Chains A and B, each alone.
Chain A
Amino acid sequence: MSDLGRVLRIDARRTALFLAVPALAFLGAVAAWRAMLPGVAYWDDAVAALFSSVCLLGPASAGFAAWVALREHRLDYLRGLTARSPALGPLLDLLLLGIVTLCAYAVVAAVVAAKTMIHVEAGHPKPIGPLAGALTLLVYTVVGYLAGRLVPRLPTVPAVAVVTYLWAAARPEPWADLLPPPGVGHVGLFAALRTELLAAQALWSFGLGAVLVTGYLWALTRHAWLALPTVAAAGVVTGTTLWLHGQQRTPAVVPRAFAYSCRQWPLTVCVHPGLHTALPSLEAALTPLAARLSGTPGRFVRIEHRPDNDFPRPGHGVVYIHLSDLSPGYAHRAAQEIEISLLDARTCGDPRHAVGARYSALVSAWLLDEGPPRLDDAVAARAFARWDEQRRRRWLHTHYARYHSCTLRGRDFHER
C-alpha cells in the first residue's frame, strides 16, 4: 500500500467513515421511502423522492462533516506543520467525506430505483435528476466541513445540521424553492420534471461547491491561480441563480404525454399506466356500482383516470376518477368519487334540501355497499332496508331524478 493510501486508511478509521456510510444510507433510504407514493412508482417521482432524502441526508452529512473537521483540527499539530501543501489535509478530508456521502447516496438511489423498477410503466429515467441530488449533497458536506474548520467547536456540529436543515425546510422567498434541493414534493402521474430545471440545479450545486472549495484552498495557500476557477464558479452560481429566478412563474413540472392502460370487460376502466396494477381492483369495485346505476341517467360503462386538476363533466356513459397513489382503500375512494359525481352539488348543498340529502345519503350507502346512515324517518329506512336488490334497482330507476337533486321525500319510500 502506498503512503497516501495508508494515510487515507488511517483517516477513514479515525473518523469512523465505515460506520457513517450505513448510518447515512439508512437515514436517506427511510426518508426516500417515506417520500414515495404507496403502491405506485415512476421515474419523475423517484427523482422527487431522492430530493426529499437529500433534504434530510444533507443536514446529517453536513453535521458529520463538521464533526470530522473538528476531529481533524486536533491533528493540526501534525498536519499543519508540514512540508507538503497546507491544502493537502483538508483535501484528503473532503475526498473521504465525498466518498462517504456518495456511497450513502448511491445506496439510497439504488433503493429508490429498485422500488421504481418494480412498478414502473411510466416515464423514463433521467440521470440528471440523481446527479443534481448528488451534487447538492456534496455541497452540504463541503459547507459542514468548512464550518467545522472555521469554528472548531462542538456546538458547530448541531448548529450546522440545524441551519442546513432549515435551508431546505424554510426558504426565504418562494422562488428560492427552485434552488437545490428543490421543494418539488410529489410529481403527479400526469406530469414530468423539466430537464432544463434539473440541469440548472445540478450546475448551481456544482458551482457553489467549486466556489467554496477553491475559495477555501485560496485562503490556505494564497495561490493566485485559484482566483480563476473561484471567479468562474461564482459566475456559474450567479448565472444559474438568475436563470432560476426567471423561472419562478413557470411551473416546475410539465404535462407528460401518455397512453392509458385499460381493462375492457365488463366495464372499460382506463388509468394512467403508472397505476396499471390497480385495474383488477378498480374493475371489481366499480362493477357493482355500474350494475346498480344501469338503466338510470347516471349509468356508466367507461371510467377514466384524470389528472388532479382536471374535472370534466361526466356524461354519455363516461365517469372520471382521480387517484394519485394506491394507498389502502383506493378502489372504494374511486367508487365514492363516482357516486358523488352523480349528485347535483348545487341542490344537494342547499340547506332547504337537507332532508332530501339525508334520503340520498341512504341510497348512496347502498350504492357503495356501506352501512346505512342514521335517518330520522325510521319508516323509510326500514322499508328501504327490507327491499331486495332488484326492487331497489327498480326504485332507483324511477326516483333517480330526485336522488340526483337531493329532493327525495319520505313518501317516495312508501311501499305500494
Chain B
Amino acid sequence: MIGDFSAIVARGLGIRRSRRWLLRPTTFEVTHGVVGLAGPAGPARSALLETLATLRSPSTGDLEVLGHDVTRRAGRRAVRARLGLLPARFAWASGLSTHDFVAYASYYKCTPRRAVDAILERFGLSDAAAFEMDMLPQDLRLRAGLAATCVHEPEVVFLDEPLSGIGDSEREELIPLLRGLAPAVVVTAADPAELTGWCDRGFSMVRGRLIESPCVPLPRARVPAGV
C-alpha cells in the first residue's frame, strides 16, 4: 500500500540500458527512516539510486519524490534542492581542504556560508576543516562527503555503499550519524548483513528485480537520535 506521506513513490518504475533491464518495472514506496537496498555493486544499483535522486530519467513508469513528479523537468527542478546523494567511491577535489570541499557543495546547494561551519561542527570535522581531503583517514573523508551531501539539510538522502572499507569501530560511530542525516535515508550495501540491525526497511536487487526483504532494525532505545 502506498501512503500519501511517502517520500518516494514508484509505480511501474523500470530502468533499461540498451536492451537490458537494469531494474524491471516495479512498484514500491519509501516513507521515512532508513531504507536498506542490498545488491551487488554495479550499474543496476547505481542507476536505481541515480534515478531516485533525479539524476537519471526512468525508462518506464512513474516516479514521485517528495510529492513531485520527477519524470517531468519542473518536478525535478523543484525537488533537487531537497535531495542529497553520495555515490560509492565519491569524487572530491584533490588538494582541497575539507572546508573548501563542503563550501564548494554549499555554493551549488544555495546555502549560506555559515551552514558550512555548522555542518562541519555537527559532523565532528571542525578540527579537520583545514586538512586536505587526500590526507584524511577514510572515516573522516566519509564524514566530509556526508557533510557536502547534507549541507543543505535534505529531506531524502541516498548513500551508495557508504560503509564500504570502514573499520568496525568507526562503523559503530558512523551508523547513528547516517541514521540522522535526513527524515528518509536510502542506503545500499553489497551484503544484506551489513544493513541488518540499523535499517528500518530492506530491499534486495536480484537479477533486475527489486524484492522487499526483512530487515531487523535495532531496538529504538539503542539508536541515538541524531548526532
Contacts and interface: CB of A to CB of B under 8 A. Distances in A.
A241 B78 CA distance: 42
Nearest to B49: A77
A76 B110 CA distance: 15
Contacts of A75: 91, 93
Interface stretch (A1-9, A259-267, A392-400): A1-9
Interface stretch (A81-89, A143-151, A208-216, A336-344): A81-89
Contacts, number: 69
A315 interface: no
Interface residues of A, number: 23
A80 interface: yes
A80 B107 contact: no
Contact of A10 (B54, B81, B93): B93
Contacts of A71: 91
A79 to B, nearest CB: 5
A276 to B, nearest CB: 53
Contact of A4 (B55, B77, B107): B107
Interface stretch (B37-45, B97-105, B118-126, B205-213): B97-105
Interface stretch (B82-90, B161-169, B171-179): B82-90
Given A4-B107, A82-B108, A88-B108, A77 B90 contact: yes
A83 B91 contact: no
Which of A4, A6, A10, A88 has most chain B Cβ within 10 Å? A10
Contacts of B95: 13
Contact of B105 (A14, A74, A78): A78
B86 to A, nearest CB: 7
Contacts of A222: 73
Contacts of B73: 222
B100 A6 contact: yes
A84 B105 contact: no
B149 interface: yes
Given A6-B103, A82-B81, A83-B152, A13 B108 contact: no
B17 interface: no
B54 A3 contact: no
B96 A13 contact: yes
Given A3-B113, A13-B95, A74-B91, A84 B100 contact: no
A83 B110 contact: yes
A81 B80 contact: yes
B94 interface: yes
Interface in A71-126: 71, 74-84, 86, 88-89
25 contacts: A7-B104, A7-B107, A10-B93, A13-B93, A14-B93, A14-B94, A71-B91, A75-B91, A77-B53, A77-B85, A77-B86, A78-B104, A78-B105, A78-B108, A78-B149, A79-B108, A80-B80, A81-B84, A82-B81, A82-B108, A82-B109, A83-B81, A83-B109, A83-B152, A84-B108
Given A7-B107, A81-B83, A82-B80, 16 more contacts: A3-B107, A6-B104, A14-B93, A77-B53, A77-B87, A77-B149, A78-B104, A80-B80, A81-B55, A81-B80, A81-B84, A81-B108, A82-B81, A82-B108, A82-B109, A89-B108
Interface of B: 53-55, 73, 77, 80-81, 83-87, 90-91, 93-96, 100, 103-105, 107-110, 113, 148-149, 152
